[in-house]
Amino acid sequence: MTTSIHITALDGLINVNSLFTLAVFVGLAWNPRDPTNALITNEACRAGSNIAENMISFHVYSFSSFLFSSIIALSLKQAIRRVNESRFDSDFEAQVNRGLVRVGMLVSGVGSVSGCICLMLALVNVAQVKLGTLSCGKGTGHTFAAVVPLVILVPLGLLIYVCVVLYAFLAA
């Protein structure tokens, strides 16, 4: 029963990572230097090349983290299934190494959390490119309106996720 719970958790993690990876690809396909994509009328509020570079960097970091997390989760899932198959196919009873599963799930969770943080930072940079920089004094109300919920809700969701993962890690 414990391994089916682990498999279900790993499936959920892989599915969420896949959705976020798709979001990263959509973000990477967008050209931040295209002047027709910006909603900025004040030239002084336009994002510089450093913000565009950070946006691309954070997208790549995010993709790497989600890919890392998914590969670890898929490996654990395959190992659990392989051990379960060997239980029924042979005369010996194989045991799932709970410590390895717990550490693997923790590492996979850390990869997802870091991917979410990098994706959030990339989206902050997207908002600055499209709506104006946060450092621009006048005319950044829309940028703040886009960024503030993002930097409040994403960390709050991640905090809840981390608490649940740690609870499962300590209870399993």
Per-residue pLDDT of the chain (172 residues; tens, 9 = 90+): 456 777 777 888 888 888 888 877 777 677 666 666 667 777 778 888 899 899 989 999 999 999 999 999 898 888 887 776 665 555 545 566 778 888 888 899 899 999 999 999 999 998 888 888 888 866 578 888 889 999 999 999 999 988 887 777 676 5
**Spatial separation of the C-alpha atoms in residues 47 and 135, rounded to whole Å:** 10
- Those residues whose C-beta lies under 8 Å from the C-beta of residue 3, and which sit 6 or more positions away, are 80, 83, 84, 96
Q: Cβ(5)–Cβ(101) under 8 Å?
A: no
Please tell me the pTM assigned to this model.
Answer: 0.81
